[in-house]
Amino acid sequence: MVKALYPGTFDPVHNGHVDIVSRSARLFEKVYVGIYEQPEKPALFSTQDRVSMFKESVEHLPNVEVQSFRGLAVNHAQKVGAMFILRGLRAGFDFETEFEMALMWRKLSPKIDVICMMSSLENQFIHSSRVKEVVKLGANVSDLVPQHVVKKLNENM
């Protein structure tokens, strides 16, 4: 079975994340979404909330499993038997950072490959930090995040 891991903080999950997972689910027999527990950086949502929100966002995808993890993404990929780590790329934003991360992961675990997927055009500008920022300023983000996430954002801001 060909498995992949899509790691991230997903604070909160947005439509770009869901799109990457949905497209990946067509390519891999099993896709694990790894919600990184980030004790060193405060998150708006708890790890449990982030897992719950992402699960609800992908409940229509039977070959996707959402779980939390600590430590290195490559170690979690090995733990779940994933041979690939998935990353999303937005135009002009992510390449250098993702390239450097992929090289580090490759050094730490040469058997795991990193696959970068281009974000869909409508999701090129979505970033979790920006979503939180504009919600604080009173913006409607219903076109940027799943509806259940809109509700959670409004409750927590």
Query: Residue 84 is encoded by which pair of tokens?
Result: 């690939």
Catalytic residue among 41, 107, 111, 129: 41
Q: Is 127 a catalytic residue?
A: no
91-103 burial by CB neighbour count: b if 16+ within 10 A, else e?
eeebeeebeebbe
90 given a catalytic annotation: yes
Among candidate residues 24, 57, 119, 128, the one labeled active-site is 128
Q: Which of 17, 50, 76, 87 is the catalytic position?
A: 17
Question: Is 130 considered catalytic here?
Answer: no
Q: Which of 55, 90, 106, 130 is catalytic?
A: 90
Residue 24 annotated as catalytic: no
* Cβ-based neighbours of 115, under 8 Å, separated by 6 or more: 4, 84, 85, 86, 87
Tell me which residues are annotated as active site. Answer: 17, 41, 90, 128
